[in-house]
Amino acid sequence: MPKDSGIGAATLRREDVRFLTGKGQYSDDINLFGQVAAVFARSTVANGKINSIDTTTAAAMPGVLAIFTGEDFAEVGGNPAGWLINSRDGTPMHEPKRPVLAHGKVRHVGDAYAAVIAETAEQAQNAVEAIEADIEELPAVVNMKDALSGSNFVHDEIGTNQCFDWGWIEDNRAATDAAIKGAHHVTTLELVNNRLVPNAMEPRCSMAQYNSATDEYVLHTTSQNPHLTRLLISAFVLGIPENKLTVIAPDVGGGFGSKIYHYGEEALVLAAAKKLGRPVKWTANRTEAFLTDAHGRDHVTKIELALDAEGNFLAFRTETMANVGAYLSNFSTATPTFLHGTLMAGNYTVPNVYVNVKAVFTNTAPVDAYRGAGRPEATYSLERVIDKAARELGMDPIALRRKNFVKPDQYPFASAAGLEYDSGNYDALMDKMEEVADLAGFAARRKESEAKGLLRGFGVNAYIEACGIAPSNLVGVLGSRVGLYDAATVRVNATGNLSVMVGAHSHGQGHETAFPQVVAEMLGIDASVIDIVHGDTSKIPFGMGTYGSRSLAVCGSAVVRATEKIINKAKKIAAHMLEASDADIELKEGVFSVAGTDRSVSFGEVALKAYIPHDFPLEDIEPGLEETAFYDPANFTYPSGAYCCEVELDPETGKVRVDRFAAVDDFGNVINPMIVTGQVHGGLGQGIGQALLENTTYDENGQLLSASYMDYTMPRADDLPFYAVDHSQGNPCTHNPLGVKGCGEAGAIGSPPTIVNAVIDAMQSGGKNVTHIDMPVTPHRVWSAMQNV
Amino acid sequence: MYAFDIERPETIAEAVAALGGEAQALGGGQTLIPTLKARLASPDKLVSLSSISEMQGIRLEGRDLWIGGATVHADVANDGTYAALSDLAAHIGDPAVRNRGTIGGSIANNDPAACYPAAALGSGATIVTNTREIAADDFFQGMFDTALNEEEIITAVKFPIPEVANYQKFVQPASRFALVGVFVAKYADGVRVAVTGASNEGVHRWSAAEDALSSNFSAGALDGLSVPSGNMIADLHGSPDYRAHLVKVMTGRAVAQAS
């Protein structure tokens, strides 16, 4: 096995050749004969009654081919939520279906109420401006507290803005309350987990084709999960049979969660393509991305931590309001509940956990999973309140965490929030973190900063998260309407090279490099002869796509299972060729041999034989060498980590600069360490962006004030430090064949509390008793906080 | 973007002739083109000033630094004759902006958070147009408002070179325009302090600081001063009080680093 291409090799990403040379094929790069353009008319008010839409003038404008309004889709289905949540009283959540185009009312700025199809996008845009829509502006519901207490409803027919009132675990509630009541010390913290705009580099784009001769549709779209999109369109929205609809997600320029979901624009272009008999393309501009991509986070939380006199954690109790926006995006109900509440025991042996989440409708863009999805919110709440408790009790923040860590001999560990952690070693992570971060040198560095008039703060954080979503049998019990397995087909071609069709979708994760490393390792051949096929429902088996750091843990496991089947069959063929028994065949470094002899055939010879089976015993061996496996995990995987950072704070301006950052993660086994490091870097960039920079602000009328890069601060290279990233402390996952855990979201989960803890420490070191500051920790906020104590 | 015609005159006279009606002068386009793309403006015709050679270049004219109105920021950044001005130009936008955006375009637009207006006002520069010369003190008349008439083009800006000067920009984190920018320049006859980014009135001078610094050019001279916040901008990125505070901090830093 060449060491530079199997498991553990830091192979360069083969997909980067096309990305970096402009040869990527994104949805908008694909142009078809006869293609026309769709442009949407979008609401400029957050809440409005559609009195009338007059398209007469617009329809007569040059190039205009068709105009759709909500009326045209009144009879078709709506986009559903993928997860049913029941409230504490047992009643199911309120679930307004989102129509393809707004009908009757518009409910957020950017809500599409009409679409124009024209020969060119410019003509369509001109016609959109000529649509005469009489939309009566109504008072908007923006703030969650007001939404819950008021009588102005986003969905009149529901009669409340509360989607659900969820308790986790309801049976733990009384014990948690009692533990808090009787505790030696209770630390309370109210915080906001700020709303984020995903800002994928590639805006959404959808193009549909329709063939009237075969009644078949093809949809090219920016999706993280083409099969899921097809299922939603087929089963819920348009009713196109799945066998008549191909969904292709070609190269996709980043998703971060926002491209998991099915959006109305996809359905619109499909309907338009059929009506006109021509390919119809829509490409979002950046403003549309800001206004209509599903946003992330947006929690308002009160958390309490109860401790005994020795600093042992007795209970965490959390009350959260989670904004779901104006409509339920597909996973919006799972994110603040089962991806958040179940993590509220953290890395700790705390015996009591209770979480209450109220999901709230507002006249804002939908909110759904965004890199980390629920786990960053859980980690932020836990690790901020723990830090505050350490300060209140005068304890070292690392020692307090260590005191309460689950210990290595306690696995499998049943957490008080209902999960079973399979493996980990949080003290070892903390040890490594202290080493790579040079904690011993902090005091000297603080002195140097102070000599420059700057305050240096140290922040630490321990996180655990749940990845590899997820066991279908578990999520089914918890309300998921889909299964969460994945699938792979390994096709050995006659000439000995391989095509591996996977249900996972790569939009920055490096699957095209990492997955072949797994197959290469198993077969003992070079990874360069193995290619991944993904993103096309007509080519790949039914997998659930990529999100929740699941690709390798779930789909990679399916690849392993399918490759095992290949090996079994190849051994049969080799045994036939070598006139030996199957059981005596060994595979080593790409060669099948009869144990204890020098008789052998190469992998390539077996592959060729599989397709030229002139002498096969057909009752024992079928021709061909192609196998499919579906893999459904037994549990989530549980990556964990210890992060720390040092910030320098300018007390005159409030400006915070991240000087050092150390991220030590347990990802289990690592297939390609370079890709893993890159994933951590990306996650840290987004987490630091959330902590210091990114702020989504709606005014009281529901206008998005931060709707462009002039006001929404994306992290740039000079906002970020050099990172010390380490994943040497892996404890393999015990229940998947690769022992992998998932690395895509860790950085975004672990970094926000690390940064904020460090900012608090810096302010405290300057004699300012600031105990909390909300994200993003902008210079203005820091300066104001320091003025006010 | 709506459709428009474009002309590319090669002389100032041709440019003036081409303007008029709904025509709009186009400098480097770093503000205008995004505005057009967003369909927020719909001129019938753009008159590009970038091919006019007599509006290009940087040279010393006596004790003034003459900079052609169509000179891009990158050229000013690389010039170095007036170090504080070159340093300011080197920190406008990103490389793409600096290689397209022009000094004349920036000053004519008079964005309340732009850098160049602070340099022009802080240096007591002269704005040269196709018809007249205008002192910076008379030129800037509030946010996006200037003394320019319709069909008047900034052909050059003349900067008297000070003994020492410095520009301190505290950036608005998203746009990286100035949340508060302060340009301080010390001349034989006194100190000028110009503030950008902070005020609802746009770029303006801080006269109390000028008086204090003219008699004692040190950051300590500002100690007793306070900046009124009444007319400061309130937005997502800072309150009036914060901006007023930053004006003083940035002024002190500019004085300390003036060279």
pLDDT digits 0-9 by tens, A384-417? 999 999 999 999 999 999 999 999 999 999 999 9
Q: Does A120 touch chain B (CB under 8 A)?
A: no
Q: Looking at the structure, do residues B121 and B203 belong to the same domain, yes or no?
A: no
Name residue B184's beta-bridge partners: B166, B193
Residue A359, in any domain of the structure: yes
Q: Looking at the structure, do residues B151 and B179 belong to the same domain, yes or no?
A: no
pLDDT tens per residue across span B123-142? 999 999 999 999 999 999 99
- Asked whether the beta carbons of residue A711 and residue B39 sit closer than 8 angstroms, the reply is no
pLDDT tens per residue across span A694-716? 999 999 999 999 999 999 999 99
- Asked whether the beta carbons of residue B236 and residue A706 sit closer than 8 angstroms, the reply is yes
pLDDT of residue A78: 87
Q: Which residue of A has its CA nearest to B172?
A: A711
- Asked whether the beta carbons of residue B236 and residue A711 sit closer than 8 angstroms, the reply is yes
The answer on pLDDT for A735 being more than 70 is yes
Residue A127, in any domain of the structure: yes
Q: Looking at the structure, do residues A596 and A708 belong to the same domain, yes or no?
A: no
Q: Looking at the structure, do residues A713 and A759 belong to the same domain, yes or no?
A: yes
Q: Which of A780, A782, A784 to mutate to test the interface with B (most CBs of B within 10 A)?
A: A780
Q: Looking at the structure, do residues A303 and A264 belong to the same domain, yes or no?
A: no
Q: Looking at the structure, do residues A687 and A598 belong to the same domain, yes or no?
A: no
Q: What is the ipTM of this complex?
A: 0.96
Q: What is the mean pLDDT of residues A730-759?
A: 98
pLDDT of residue A559: 98
Q: Looking at the structure, do residues A668 and A776 belong to the same domain, yes or no?
A: yes
Q: Looking at the structure, do residues A429 and A543 belong to the same domain, yes or no?
A: no
pLDDT tens per residue across span A413-443? 999 999 999 999 999 999 999 999 999 999 9
Q: Residue A3 — very low, low, confident or very high, per pLDDT cuts 50/70/90?
A: low
The answer on pLDDT for A5 being more than 90 is no
Q: Looking at the structure, do residues B156 and B61 belong to the same domain, yes or no?
A: yes
Q: Looking at the structure, do residues B76 and B143 belong to the same domain, yes or no?
A: yes
Q: How far apart are CA A161 and CA A149, in angstroms?
A: 9
pLDDT of residue A2: 45
Q: Does B174 touch chain A (CB under 8 A)?
A: yes
Q: Which residue of A has its CA nearest to B253?
A: A652
pLDDT of residue A521: 97
Record the tokens describing residue A649, joined without a space.
């704070």
Q: Calculate ∠ Cα A124-A128-A129, nearest 5°.
A: 120
The answer on pLDDT for A99 being more than 60 is yes
Residue A9, in any domain of the structure: no
Q: Residue B62 — very low, low, confident or very high, per pLDDT cuts 50/70/90?
A: very high
Residue A515, in any domain of the structure: yes
- Asked whether the beta carbons of residue A710 and residue B175 sit closer than 8 angstroms, the reply is yes
Q: Residue A76 — very low, low, confident or very high, per pLDDT cuts 50/70/90?
A: confident
Q: Looking at the structure, do residues B61 and B156 belong to the same domain, yes or no?
A: yes
Q: What is the mean pLDDT of residues A219-235?
A: 97
Q: Does B246 touch chain A (CB under 8 A)?
A: yes
Q: Does B112 touch chain A (CB under 8 A)?
A: no
CATH of the domain at B93: 3.30.465.10
User: What is chain B's percent helix, strand, coil content, to nearest 5?
Assistant: 35, 25, 40
- Report the share of chain A in percent with pLDDT over 90: 97
Record the tokens describing residue A284, joined without a space.
């979002």
Q: Residues in chain A, how many?
A: 789
Q: For chain B, how many structural domains are there in total?
A: 3
Q: Which residue among B142, B160, B178 closes a domain?
A: B160
Q: Does B236 touch chain A (CB under 8 A)?
A: yes
pLDDT of residue A541: 98
Q: Which of A653, A705, A718 to mutate to test the interface with B (most CBs of B within 10 A)?
A: A653
Nearest to B238 among A710, A713, A780 (CB): A780
Cβ proximity of A421 and A464 under 8 Å: yes
CATH of the domain at B24: 3.30.43.10
Using a CB-CB cut-off of 8 Å, the residues of chain B touching A698 are: none
Residue A466, in any domain of the structure: yes
Q: How far apart are CA A148 and CA A321, in angstroms?
A: 9
Record the tokens describing residue A637, joined without a space.
């995987």
Using a CB-CB cut-off of 8 Å, the residues of chain A touching B39 are: 125, 129
pLDDT of residue A470: 83
Q: What is the mean pLDDT of residues A661-689?
A: 98
Element (H, E) at A611: helix A603-611
Q: Does A493 touch chain B (CB under 8 A)?
A: no
Q: What is the mean pLDDT of residues B217-231?
A: 96
DSSP A302-368: EEEEEE-TT--EEEEEEEEEEEEESS--TTTTTTTTTTTGGGTTTTB--SEEEEEEEEEE-SS--B-
pLDDT of residue A4: 73
Q: Does A705 touch chain B (CB under 8 A)?
A: yes
Record the tokens describing residue B148, joined without a space.
């320019």
Q: What is the mean pLDDT of residues A221-244?
A: 97
Nearest to B187 by CA among B162, B207, B213, B167: B162
CB within 8 Å of chain A, chain B residues 142-161? none
Q: Looking at the structure, do residues A562 and A609 belong to the same domain, yes or no?
A: yes
pLDDT tens per residue across span B148-201? 999 899 999 999 999 999 999 999 999 999 999 999 999 999 999 999 999 999
Q: What is the mean pLDDT of residues B44-60?
A: 97
pLDDT tens per residue across span A451-473? 999 999 999 999 999 999 889 99
pLDDT tens per residue across span A313-326? 999 999 999 999 99
Q: Which residue of A has its CA nearest to B170?
A: A653
Q: Does B95 touch chain A (CB under 8 A)?
A: no
Q: Looking at the structure, do residues A454 and A581 belong to the same domain, yes or no?
A: no
Q: Which residue of A has its CA nearest to B31?
A: A710
pLDDT of residue B115: 98
Q: Looking at the structure, do residues A584 and A729 belong to the same domain, yes or no?
A: no
- Report the share of chain A in percent with pLDDT over 70: 100
Nearest to A662 by CA among A641, A634, A640: A641
Residue A157, in any domain of the structure: no
Q: What is the mean pLDDT of residues B109-118?
A: 98
Q: Does A711 touch chain B (CB under 8 A)?
A: yes
Q: What is the mean pLDDT of residues A131-156?
A: 97
Using a CB-CB cut-off of 8 Å, the residues of chain B touching A655 are: 170
pLDDT of residue A608: 98
Q: How far apart are CA A407 and CA A397, in angstroms?
A: 18
The answer on pLDDT for A685 being more than 90 is yes
Q: How far apart are CA B258 and CA B255, in angstroms?
A: 5
Which range of residues forms the domain containing residue A393? Answer: 299-470+635-787
- Report the share of chain B in percent with pLDDT over 70: 100
Q: Which of B35, B172, B250 to mutate to test the interface with A (most CBs of A within 10 A)?
A: B172
- Asked whether the beta carbons of residue A709 and residue B175 sit closer than 8 angstroms, the reply is yes
Q: Does A717 touch chain B (CB under 8 A)?
A: no
Q: Which residue of A has its CA nearest to B243?
A: A780
pLDDT tens per residue across span A522-557? 999 999 999 999 999 999 999 999 999 999 999 999
Dihedrals phi, psi of A250, to nearest 5 degrees? -75, -145
Strands A656-666 and A723-726 turn out to be parallel
Q: Looking at the structure, do residues A114 and A229 belong to the same domain, yes or no?
A: yes
Using a CB-CB cut-off of 8 Å, the residues of chain A touching B249 are: 652-653
> What single-letter amino acid sits at A145?
K
- Asked whether the beta carbons of residue B236 and residue A655 sit closer than 8 angstroms, the reply is no
Q: What is the mean pLDDT of residues A40-48?
A: 98
CATH of the domain at A568: 3.30.365.10
Q: How far apart are CA A383 and CA A377, in angstroms?
A: 10
Nearest to B249 among A129, A653, A780 (CB): A653
Q: Looking at the structure, do residues B43 and B81 belong to the same domain, yes or no?
A: no
CATH of the domain at B247: 3.30.390.50
Q: Looking at the structure, do residues B181 and B223 belong to the same domain, yes or no?
A: yes
Residue A154, in any domain of the structure: no
Q: Which residue among A596, A631, A666 closes a domain?
A: A631
Q: Which of A42, A652, A694 to mutate to test the interface with B (most CBs of B within 10 A)?
A: A652
> What single-letter amino acid sits at A553?
A
Nearest to A646 by CA among A452, A442, A782, A396: A442
- Asked whether the beta carbons of residue B245 and residue A697 sit closer than 8 angstroms, the reply is no
Residue A688, in any domain of the structure: yes
Q: Looking at the structure, do residues A92 and A216 belong to the same domain, yes or no?
A: yes
Q: Does A710 touch chain B (CB under 8 A)?
A: yes
Using a CB-CB cut-off of 8 Å, the residues of chain B touching A705 are: 236
Q: For chain A, how many structural domains are there in total?
A: 3
At which residue do the structure tokens 């193995």 appear?
A: A530
Q: How far apart are CA B49 and CA B11, in angstroms?
A: 9
Q: Does B175 touch chain A (CB under 8 A)?
A: yes
Q: How far is the first Cα of chain A from the last one, in angstroms, to the nearest whole number?
A: 64
Which range of residues forms the domain containing residue B94? Answer: 57-160
pLDDT of residue A1: 45
> What single-letter amino acid sits at A696?
T
Nearest to A713 among B170, B174, B245 (CB): B174
Q: Looking at the structure, do residues A49 and A110 belong to the same domain, yes or no?
A: yes
